[in-house]
Chain A
Amino acid sequence: MMTRGFLPLLAIVAAGGIAALAWETDGFRVVTSAGARQLSIERNPVRLPDVRLVDQDGHAFSFSSYKGRPVLVDFIYTGCPTLCGVLGDDFHRVLQLMTGAGAGAPIDLLSISFDPQNDDRKALQLYGDRYGAKAPRWRIARPADERGLAELLQSFGVVVIPDGVGGFIHNSAVYLIDTRGRLARILDPDSPPRLFADALRASLP
């Protein structure tokens, strides 16, 4: 026989448990912190701090320089043996699609190094040459100072951890900045045509 108080106690425990799981998975939609971040950005695009960056030609600029044009952003370090190469290839293919679409494709590419200690202008230039990147269409840049770097990583939600053999492990996402200069979407890097299409769609009014 069921005892007194059993059903109320079970109901409280089950309700609390389901509520906790729903909260932690944003309503049973995500199980990873990267997924949660992706969902939250799509719902509420975030304003980015206007951090000063320096590109491969030594020119200083900031996100506000792009006003009115969507930008695809990735985070790299030029000493990266694995992932950044894939990211570089992806952006190279997006660049080809942009050129194929004529000079009219109103989008830009930006690769930001989170390793400004090793990535001087020369290193950024070499990385850019490897993938055919030319400023200002595709800038390879680094933050002008350490504080800017911390602000950038924080606002983009990029987590960089040491890989244990002198390099770094980091998010492999591509970030889409919309025409109003807000971080609007976090995209999977595996399909350059889709990256191109998403950026182009963001350029439409």
Chain B
Amino acid sequence: MRFSAAVGAWLILWLWPVRIALESDMAVHMILQVPLLIGIGLFVAIAVRPHEPHWLADADWLGIPGIVMVVFGTSFWMLPRALDGAVADPWMDAAKFLSLPLLVGLPLGLSWRRMPPLGRAFIWANFIPKLGAIGGLYLAAPARLCAYYRLDQQAVAGWTLIILAVVLGTLWFIVALVGRPAPGLRQLSVATPPIRAT
């Protein structure tokens, strides 16, 4: 069920008008289409998780090989040349449509649960500043980095990445230092009397 939903979503994204619409703008390409394709891979991971072979689960110690694959896959598709290639060359676009779900989303979905909390924290702490840094780079670049996108689109993509980094960073900060809102939290806040000004 999940698997067919993932394949269906993938096919919709691949449809010509949808594909052209999502790739015509740099920010939409980077911040909507790419994450959606990774998300499809996450769905596939949930579907295939019960059938994962034992040797793979064993070899993926602490989820390290899987997350290394994710880091390489996402780095590759952050290259301006790769983004250009996906717009200009249908084969490169096909490679993107296959590699983002299968070489990024799928290993992320399988390996994340095997990672210790500190490992997850390390990945978040790397990923969020990287988003912001790339956003800053796009804004600071005097010339266009992609031949197929305008300078103003590049600036919008830069700002979107920075805003995304700030939002994710704030959320992660709250989760890391305050903790997820748990049932106990509400009781705690009720039990603690508010400080009164004297």
**Footprint of B on A, CB under 8 Å?**
2-6, 8-10, 12-14, 16-18, 20-21, 24-25, 30-36, 159, 161, 163-164, 169, 171-172
Contact = CB atoms under 8 A, between A and B. Distances in A.
Contacts of A32: 80-81, 84, 145-147
A14 B143 CA distance: 32
B150 interface: yes
A8 B76 contact: no
B56 to A, nearest CB: 8
B58 A10 contact: no
Contacts of B79: 21, 24-25, 31
Contact of B59 (A9, A24, A25): A9
Contacts of B69: 13, 16-17
B150 A164 contact: yes
Q: Kindly list the 7 A-B residue pairs having the minimum CB-CB distance in the complex, ordered from nearest.
A: A17-B72, A5-B59, A6-B61, A33-B84, A159-B147, A9-B59, A9-B65
Interface residues of B, number: 32
A6 B81 contact: no
Contacts of B81: 24-25, 30-33, 35-36
Tell me if B's interface is mostly helix, strand, loop or mixed: helix
Interface of B: 55-56, 58-61, 64-66, 68-69, 71-73, 75-76, 79-82, 84-85, 88, 143-151
B54 to A, nearest CB: 10
Contacts of A30: 81
A161 B75 contact: no
Contacts of A8: 59
Contact of B147 (A18, A24, A171): A171
A17 B68 CA distance: 8
A151 B18 CA distance: 30
A21 B76 contact: yes
Given A14-B72, A24-B85, 17 more contacts: A3-B59, A6-B64, A8-B59, A13-B72, A14-B68, A16-B69, A17-B71, A17-B76, A20-B72, A20-B76, A24-B81, A32-B145, A32-B146, A32-B147, A159-B147, A159-B148, A161-B150
A6 B65 contact: yes
A50 to B, nearest CB: 25
B65 A24 contact: no
Contacts of B147: 32-34, 159, 171
B123 to A, nearest CB: 15
Nearest to B75: A21
B71 to A, nearest CB: 8
A16 to B, nearest CB: 8
A96 B45 CA distance: 65
A10 B76 contact: no
B65 A10 contact: yes
A9 B149 CA distance: 38
Given A3-B59, A4-B59, A21 B80 contact: no
Most chain A CB within 10 A, of B60, B147, B149, is at: B147
Given A10-B64, A17-B69, A159-B147, A5 B58 contact: yes
Contact of B60 (A9, A34, A169, A172): A9
Nearest to A171: B147
A6 B59 contact: yes
A25 B84 CA distance: 13
